[in-house]
Chains A and B, each alone.
Chain A
Amino acid sequence: MTTFRDYSGEKKMTDTPDGTASRSAAQTKTLKDLLVGDSAQIVDFLKENDAVRKIEAMGLRRGKKITIMQKMGRGIVVKTSNSRIVITSDVAKDIEVK
């Protein structure tokens, strides 16, 4: 199966035009790095865009404790309080956790 070009073109942090993500990806632990069963706390969002606004509204907010319930393909099931939210890894990489 050939991969679409779209997926190879994930933007690097330093590419962001607004410059909010000046820290390099290596230093920042993001939600994408977590494994199934891991728990963490959301520290910050590395971007402000519609996807981030949406997940914030859905309950993934700064300071919230999260648990990774399942990962499959690009999908990640994140549990926080009583809600379970599926996000894709291209959104997860913009969520800084500790």
Chain B
Amino acid sequence: MTKSIKVAIAGNPNVGKTTLLNQAAKTNLKVGNWAGVTVEKKEGFLNYKGCDIHFIDLPGIYTLEPLSEDEWIAYKFIVEEEPDVIVNVIETTNAERDLLLTTELLEFGRPMIIALNMSDEARRLGIEVDIRHTIELLDVRVVETNGRNGEGVQELLDSIIETAKAPHTPKAPTYSTEIEQLLEKVREENPKTPNVPTNGNPAEASPWTSNKRALLKLLTDSDGRFEEKVRLERSYKKNMGDIIKNERYAFAHGFYKEVFRKRRLTNRDITDKIDKVALHPVLGFFVFLLVIFLLFKISFDFSMPFMNWTEGFMTDFLSPLALSLLSHVGAGKWLPEFFSQAIVGGVGFVITFVPLIALIYFFLALLEMSGYMPRIAFIMDRFMHKLGLHGKGMIPLLLGFGCNVPAVMATRTLENKRDKLLVMAMIPFMSCPARLVVFSFFAILFFAHPAVVIFGLYFLGIAIGLLTAFFLRKTAYRGKLSHFVMELPPYRAPRIRTVLQIVWVQIKSFLYRAGTVIFAASVVIWILLNTPPNIKSQSDSVAAYIGKAITPILAPIGINDWRISTSLIPAFLAREIVLSSMGTIYSVDVQQKNTEFHFLPALEQQVEGLGQATKESFMSLLTPRIETMQTTEGDQGLRNVIRSSFTPASALSFMIFLLLYTSCLATVAVIAREGGKKFAFLFLAYSFVAAWGVAFIVYHIGVLL
């Protein structure tokens, strides 16, 4: 029988836990959420030496005295899930800070391994660790690791197996005599030390009898039962919780002095050098602008040729290939129709945006892993706090340009509920690639300078977000702006493989969505368009009937066509569906070209096209402007039909409506989970009103011009 081992990875933020997990579990990673909260949960699975190892990456935390949501999650996991092994990852270069968490983990008495990570950085900084002494003092296994090149990972895996096979309790930290004597009294009162009671059920006693954490908890909760405790609290003028906290610091500090040595090295830190510019009051701001400009320029320009190629690959190769195969096997009339309209027209259209989304995720991951992201918060706090917002709120807002859903999740870094809700009310106005998909389609079709229109829309979104925040600050969320505390990790060259793994996980979920929700929506639309059966024209179909019913609401903003209002309904699942629905609806109108399909020449043409796209991508990087969308190309048929049902004014109004209205089920759901159902519902209504209002004004100005 294979033994299964549950391993919790615990450590401070930015110590390289995730990179280490990626090294250990390779590709078997799973990203999800912790039950009930929207904190990302990363898991890894590995079969090693006949054991099934299940890694759980706990959120990066500084302490197990639960102050924030992250700390609660980690604390609850260790108490309730009782992992077989805890891997405590320590950033060797910052060990003194990290040892507080180590001390707290040791109190639980669970089998533990210490991973001294970033051993290469430590060597460079002249930091030496007396590993043998550490093992003596704590009675735990110690492994030196380097997440970046995988050094020590093998040894770590071996240690996990050995520890799981012969589990034992590490030595609990020793505190001052007064505290230890008090704890002895508590132990006498509670001979069978229970596990830390979490929901008032101390019945489940832990097999690890030396659970010091439980004793400490009993002590702090004991009120006036122990005379000495009351006396100690009085003489220190502190409550027991803070006294114990200082005891832990003392232990961590003492331990650090015992085993860590630093040789004097003269080389100055690269991080300090970069920060001289990156955090400079004036230069830093320009660096930020440059970084953001490059992020968008490269994401848009580099991906555009690939997107065009993917679109061509679908419509000129895959679709005719499948159609000719279908006609060979003698499929009827409706199957090829269904295929070209619902599958290629709907799902295929959305898939063309994979290159763009991949690049945006790539750069956001790069920013996050390089350590620059929190610096943006510092630089922007100067402006943000004038609006009554946290600089830290800048990070979720930036992530919002990638996808609103993880952005809403990232608001958990804001400790104050009010600050969190404020930022959450701004995020949905940050335009995501799903919206860009729609913008780029319409802007190219109706405007001479599509790039200007698209940037205008991005800025409009930001402006509405800021106005919303300002309005909320003046009304519902008045009060003091809370303090802010944040670490600036050292700059590190991200491991490209890890970044790519992160991108792949995101793309997988996007493709999954395309294959499920978007596919289903396309099929439903297609069916509704073709019911009741044997209708002469689509405008007699059920879909048209539904669309016509809601058209009056949208008519004042210039959307006076059932085909558009119908496609807006399923777009609530995800905005890009508006195009796939339109693709499905309009492609019925497009005359199918009845050309012969020859496999080999077509394939040759596609390969050639891919080479051309690659060349164009790299060439685009050489120009200083954002080149994307300067030319019109692609599927002319669909574009021409759509062109006839919009005017430039109504197209602009339509884009504004889609920009501002939170037409995204996933975002609304995550807001509901984080901010409550009432908040989510009110926000959805507000975003609809705001979208309608702005679109109305713009449309009518547009008509006058």
Contacts and interface: CB of A to CB of B under 8 A. Distances in A.
Interface of A: 1, 4, 6-7, 9, 20, 48, 50-51, 53-59, 61-62, 69-70, 72-75, 77, 79, 81-88, 90-91
Contact of A83 (B67, B284, B388, B487): B487
Interface stretch (B23-31, B237-245, B665-673): B237-245
Given A58-B97, A72-B284, 8 more contacts: A6-B481, A20-B237, A53-B67, A54-B485, A57-B65, A59-B96, A72-B279, A88-B484
Contact of A72 (B378, B415, B481): B378
A77 B284 CA distance: 14
Q: Is the contact region of chain A dominated by helix, strand, or loop, or is it mixed? A: mixed
Given A48-B242, A53-B65, A57-B63, A90 B388 contact: no
B97 A83 contact: yes
A45 to B, nearest CB: 10
B242 A54 contact: no
30 contacts: A51-B483, A53-B63, A54-B67, A57-B62, A57-B63, A58-B62, A58-B97, A58-B487, A59-B97, A69-B272, A70-B275, A72-B379, A73-B381, A74-B381, A74-B385, A75-B381, A75-B382, A75-B484, A77-B378, A82-B93, A83-B94, A83-B488, A84-B487, A84-B490, A85-B487, A85-B488, A87-B483, A88-B381, A90-B483, A91-B485
Contacts, number: 111
Contacts of B481: 4, 6-7
Contacts of B378: 70, 72, 75, 77, 86
B283 to A, nearest CB: 11
Contacts of A54: 62, 67, 485
Interface string B472-505: 0100000111011111111000000000000000
A57 B96 CA distance: 10
B125 interface: yes
Contacts of A69: 272, 275, 279
B271 interface: yes
Given A54-B485, A58-B97, A59-B94, A84 B271 contact: yes
Nearest to A71: B281
A39 B480 CA distance: 30
B486 A56 contact: no
B56 interface: no
The 8 nearest A-B residue pairs measured at CB: A59-B97, A73-B382, A57-B62, A57-B63, A84-B488, A6-B480, A70-B279, A82-B93
A87 B391 CA distance: 11
Contact of A51 (B238, B374, B485): B485
Contacts of A82: 93-94, 125, 490
Interface in B219-270: 237-238, 242, 245, 249, 253
Interface string B380-415: 011001101001000000000000000000000001
A2 B330 CA distance: 75
A72 B383 CA distance: 10
Contacts of A85: 485-488
Contacts of B415: 50
Nearest to A64: B96
Counting chain B CB atoms within 10 Å of each CB, the highest count among A50, A51, A77, A82 belongs to A82
Nearest to B374: A86
B93 A4 contact: no
A24 to B, nearest CB: 19
B41 to A, nearest CB: 22
B382 A72 contact: yes
B573 interface: no
Contacts of A20: 237
A49 to B, nearest CB: 9
B161 interface: no
B215 interface: no
Contact of B94 (A57, A81, A86): A81
Interface string B47-86: 0000000000000001101010000000000000000000
Contacts of A58: 62, 97, 485, 487
A55 to B, nearest CB: 6
B96 A50 contact: no
Nearest to A90: B483
Nearest to B279: A70
Nearest to B63: A57
Contacts of B426: none
A7 to B, nearest CB: 8
B100 interface: yes
Interface in B92-113: 93-94, 96-97, 100
A94 B479 CA distance: 21
A86 B488 contact: yes
Nearest to B62: A57
Nearest to A91: B483
Contacts of A7: 481
A55 B245 contact: no
Contacts of B284: 72
B574 to A, nearest CB: 36
A77 B473 CA distance: 27
Contacts of B97: 57-59, 81, 83
Contacts of A79: 272
Contacts of B280: 70
B576 to A, nearest CB: 37
B188 to A, nearest CB: 30
A21 to B, nearest CB: 12
Contacts of B386: 1
B71 to A, nearest CB: 9
Interface in B105-130: 125
A90 to B, nearest CB: 5
Contacts of A90: 483
A84 to B, nearest CB: 4
Of A6, A20, A91, chain B has the most CB atoms within 10 Å of the CB of: A6
B486 A86 contact: yes
B243 to A, nearest CB: 11
A55 B97 CA distance: 10
Nearest to B486: A86
Nearest to A48: B242
A86 B373 CA distance: 13
A70 B280 CA distance: 8
A86 B485 contact: yes
Nearest to B237: A20
A50 B482 CA distance: 12
A68 to B, nearest CB: 12
A85 B13 CA distance: 12
Contacts of A73: 381-382, 385
Nearest to B481: A6
A81 B92 CA distance: 12
